[in-house]
Amino acid sequence: MADLRDYTSLRVGGPAKKFVEVGTEAEIIAAIEAAGDTPILIIGGGTNILVADSGFEGTVIRIKSHSMQAEVDACSGATLTIGAGENWDEFVAVTLDRGFAGLETLSGIPGTVGAAPIQNIGAYGHEVAEFITRVRTYDRQAKGLKTFTNSECEFSYRNSHFKSHPGRYVVLDVQFNLRQGEMTTAITYAELAKKLGIEVGEKAPIDATRKAVLELRGAKGMLLNPSDRDSWSAGSFFTNPIVSKEIAAKLPEGAPQWPTSDGMVKTSAAWLIEHAGVHKGDSHGGARVSTKHVLALTNAGNATATDIAELAKSAQQSVFEKFGITLETEVNLVGLSL
């Protein structure tokens, strides 16, 4: 019986009733069909998940598929089809080495390619939805293959059709379209522009941008490092809240506010947490708020899943009591809730 703490970046989680590792598409589908109608949990890198100490009463399928197909056209750029089990950051590095621009600001995000569309991962002004043309899945309900175009994926901030239908679709591969080039598009994120030594709206070399992003993420404890317990996290635990203009108007002066296209306002979860009285280094049992960034909740060495959930709940309650805003988890909770 596999202990799931050995397969997650938080290094917590109890046993799986059944655990299988698969590589090929045929193996993935066979494992899903063998599970029948019983619960399944798909994991890749295990970097965006908090599993209960009691474990998972079903089949855990760990996908380790590695495949990359590329078609390059001088006009349309590169069309890349990538297996779900491919390591995300290694894939990003390969694209840049081959002279394909676009994914550089998404460098250093932990996890696999298959998880990217589910969460619609994003950072420093870009989301993966901008570059995905197709997602091929296995539909557990229809018991067959289902391919989604970009629009059918229903991408939104840290969300997608797949995330809205948990347990139904298993991503098999993802198709990306990237342009050929050595420069980024306009850098819109002020922190990244400052790091690159340019003004917002200017462009930068893609390799320099990747290096800058990795340095920024590392300084925030957002790069996994086996020897640094302050990085034993699942990345940002909460998403940035999107609230009405009325709620945003009640926030204190200095609270970050970014208008969205649908008339709402996005604000910073990290800012809310810090201004609600939560501090870097705060702890509960073996769980600790990272000393580098308040959005990262870490395993200081002997944490349980319950410790981490209680620490998250405390931060969530503090923000609600101070600002009336309920923080939503970016991390997927399995077998527990806040």
- Helix/strand/coil for 312: helix
Check: CB of residue 232 under 8 Å from CB of residue 11: yes
Active site residue 236: yes
Exactly one of 9, 231, 233, 236 is catalytic; name it: 236
Contacts of 216 (CB under 8 A, 6+ apart): 124, 191, 192, 195
Rounded to whole angstroms, the Cα distance separating 116 from 110 reads 10
Active site (annotated) includes residue 136: no
CA-CA distances (angstroms) from residue 70 to 83, 139, 176, 256? 12, 25, 10, 40
What 8-state DSSP symbol labels residue 291? Answer: S
One-letter identity of residue 131:
F
Residues contacting 334, CB < 8 A, separation 6+: 13, 41, 49, 50, 51, 52, 56
The catalytic position among 140, 158, 210, 217 is: 158
Q: Is 330 a catalytic residue?
A: yes
Radius of gyration of the chain (CA): 20
Catalytic positions, written as ranges? 158, 236, 330
